[in-house]
Amino acid sequence: MTKTLRGLSRRLNRREMVVGLATGGAAVCIAPMAAFATPAQVEEEVKKATGGKPLAEGKIKLDLPSIAENGLVVPLGFEVESPMTDKDYVKTLTFYAEGNPNPILAAFHFTPLLPKASGQIRIRLAGTQNIIAVAEMSDGKLFTAKKEVKVTIGGCGG
């Protein structure tokens, strides 16, 4: 009984919120300007960046929370397996998001002067979505990794 009641009030809240957003003109997330990227669009972007070459799984370790309570600040840690020598290093590492207004999150350009291609940034996520990383090695080989992040409160600008 309490469960259904709680569910009902939650639904009401959500409806109120949607109405409020639509009338208040503060509809940041559903504004036409902020048309969201789609998985297909991300695929297209990746293809553009890589020239359609095949991507292999592995080498990239993504450190992302499975559930992010606040989409405004989501820690994104990464490490790409590589000896980082003049002959064999990670050239670029690009992060894509399937459900953000902008399909690209960040693009790293490494040099062999770095000891390892590893670090952390903090990103904004508009909602639950997949994060895709694509690494290009100095020999032209491409690797990819993917992780889903569930976002409870979107960070699309509200």
Partner 1 sequence: MAAPTPRVRMPATAKAGEVVEVKTLISHEMESGNRKDKDGKVIPRKIINKFTAKFNGKELMSVDWHAAIAANPYQSFFVKVPETGTFTFEWLDDDGAVYKAEQKVTVG
Could you tell me the CA-to-CA distances from 122 to 1, 68, 77, 94 in Å, in that order? 41, 12, 8, 14
To 5 degrees, how large is the angle CA 82–CA 83–CA 88?
Answer: 85
101 binds partner 1 per the rule CB under 8 A:
yes
Q: In the complex with partner 1, which residue's Cβ is closer, 121 or 153? A: 121
- Whether the CB-CB separation of 36 and 101 falls below 8 Å is answered with yes
Site pattern 34..73 for partner 1 (x: CB under 8 A): x-------------------------------------xx
User: Least CB distance from residue 14 to partner 1, whole Å?
Assistant: 21
Site pattern 121..150 for partner 1 (x: CB under 8 A): xxxxx-------------------------
User: Least CB distance from residue 47 to partner 1, whole Å?
Assistant: 18
Could you tell me the CA-to-CA distances from 142 to 85, 100, 114, 148 in Å, in that order? 17, 24, 19, 21
